[in-house]
């Protein structure tokens, strides 16, 4: 399982780096929130919650400073926060498959 997790994290880092390389300004479309930001935001916030559920911390300011800054900007926007599900309701749904996989026969 450790080798599989390591490989999955490596692929995950590569995908995050590709995403970060496309973020040239404050937002993907320039100076204001756009459609690509909204689509990428779903993925970014999912990553943030997954790292909490699995106990990993791959999306750090040190590794991905541009993405981290972008996520912080999004988290400060009322329009974004109004559309996000509450963390306390989302995390149990994300934890269920992780816990099920831990108790599955090997």
Judge contact between 8 and 50, C-beta under 8 A. Answer: no
The pLDDT value recorded for residue 61 is 87
Q: Residue 87 is part of which domain span? A: 2-103
CATH number for the domain including 31?
Answer: 1.20.1050.10
The total of structural domains in the chain comes to 1
Confidence of residue 58 (pLDDT cuts 50, 70, 90): low
pLDDT band at 47 (very low <50, low <70, confident <90, very high): confident
Residue 27's CB is within 10 A of a number of other CB atoms, namely: 19
């Amino acid at each position: 399982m450790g080798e599989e997790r390591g490989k999955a994290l490596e692929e995950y880092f590569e995908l995050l780096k590709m995403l970060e390389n496309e973020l040239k300004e404050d937002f993907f479309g320039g100076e204001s929130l756009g459609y690509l930001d909204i689509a990428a935001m779903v993925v970014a916030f999912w990553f943030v919650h997954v790292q909490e559920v699995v106990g990993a911390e791959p999306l750090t300011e040190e590794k991905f400073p541009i993405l981290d800054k972008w996520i912080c900007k999004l988290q400060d926007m009322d329009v974004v926060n109004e559309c996000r599900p509450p963390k306390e309701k989302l995390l149990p749904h994300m934890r269920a498959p992780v816990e099920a996989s831990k108790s599955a026969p090997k």
